[in-house]
């Protein structure tokens, strides 16, 4: 087990992963590895070694990105996840001896997580697969609004939007959801009736952080 001082949250989109790692890092004076923290290495990547991550880095016409078929989009996302794992492990190796807990919103695969960290240092957070498709463009972040503008600029924006959503459906499939659900790790399913504070308490309990804090105090 290489990362006994790291706590990993993975799962599906819109499940609350980013929010939880930020709150945990703040509360426990931890190191935050938030979504896409591997981007810090992006500029130095060799495109022959990391063809999926450098695809967007070196892209000239972003309309090509949204015009890909759903199958091409899914294959690209799968490739990005594999390459992200390599970079995440490099970064985490450098943080492992910092003496502070590390909270990670991760792309590392379930299989790899089982070999690098204790089982109680991983939480799966899940949301209904349809949420990520239906609400993808509702988030105000620049990336999603940029993609929305590109789609609206297409000659037939409705067809372009339908094509893009089909790609999202492939990525956020029920099969992918079930793979996480039955991974063997602790699972927290999104519940609109539950507050952020209540979810944080569930995450802390699953990680054993409350007990550890009580002992230290």
CA distances from residue 14 to 9, 152, 172, 174, 187 in whole angstroms, order as listed: 13, 23, 11, 15, 14
CATH class of 6-209: alpha beta
φ/ψ (deg, to 5) at 155: -55, -35
- Which pLDDT does position 212 carry in this prediction? 57
Could you identify the residue written with the tokens 């070694």?
49
Distance of alpha carbon 109 from alpha carbon 112, whole angstroms: 5
Which position has the higher pLDDT, 130 or 23? 23
Check whether 132 has a pLDDT greater than 90: no
Check whether 135 has a pLDDT greater than 90: no
Average pLDDT over all residues of the chain? 92
Distance of alpha carbon 199 from alpha carbon 205, whole angstroms: 10
- Domains of the chain by residue range: 6-209
* Residue 76: how many other CB atoms lie within 10 Å: 19
**Mean pLDDT, residues 12-31:** 95
Check whether 217 has a pLDDT greater than 80: no
Residue 175: band (very low, low, confident or very high) from pLDDT cuts 50, 70, 90: very high
Q: What is the pTM of this model?
A: 0.90
Residue 140: band (very low, low, confident or very high) from pLDDT cuts 50, 70, 90: confident
Query: What is the share, in percent, of the chain residues with pLDDT greater than 70?
Result: 96
Structure tokens at 14: 């819109």
Check whether 14 has a pLDDT greater than 70: yes
- Which pLDDT does position 2 carry in this prediction? 82
């Amino acid at each position: 087990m290489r990362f006994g001082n790291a706590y990993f949250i993975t799962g599906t989109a819109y499940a609350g992963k980013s929010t939880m790692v930020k709150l945990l890092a703040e509360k426990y004076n931890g190191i935050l590895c938030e979504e896409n923290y591997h981007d810090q290495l992006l500029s130095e990547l060799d495109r022959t070694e990391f063809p999926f991550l450098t695809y967007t880095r070196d892209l000239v016409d972003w309309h090509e990105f949204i015009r890909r078929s759903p199958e091409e989009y899914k294959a690209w996302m799968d490739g990005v996840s594999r390459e992200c794992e390599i970079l995440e492990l490099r970064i985490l190796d450098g943080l492992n001896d910092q003496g502070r807990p590390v909270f990670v919103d991760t792309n590392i695969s379930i299989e790899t997580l089982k070999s690098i960290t204790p089982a109680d240092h991983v939480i799966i957070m899940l949301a209904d697969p349809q949420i990520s498709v239906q609400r993808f463009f509702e988030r105000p972040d620049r990336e999603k609004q940029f993609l929305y503008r590109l789609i609206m600029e297409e000659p037939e924006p409705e067809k372009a939007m339908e094509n893009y959503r089909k790609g999202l459906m492939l990525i956020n499939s029920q099969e992918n959801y079930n793979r996480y659900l039955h991974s063997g790790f602790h699972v927290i399913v999104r519940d609109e009736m539950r507050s952020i504070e209540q979810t944080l308490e569930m995450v802390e309990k699953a990680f054993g952080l409350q007990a550890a804090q009580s002992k230290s105090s």
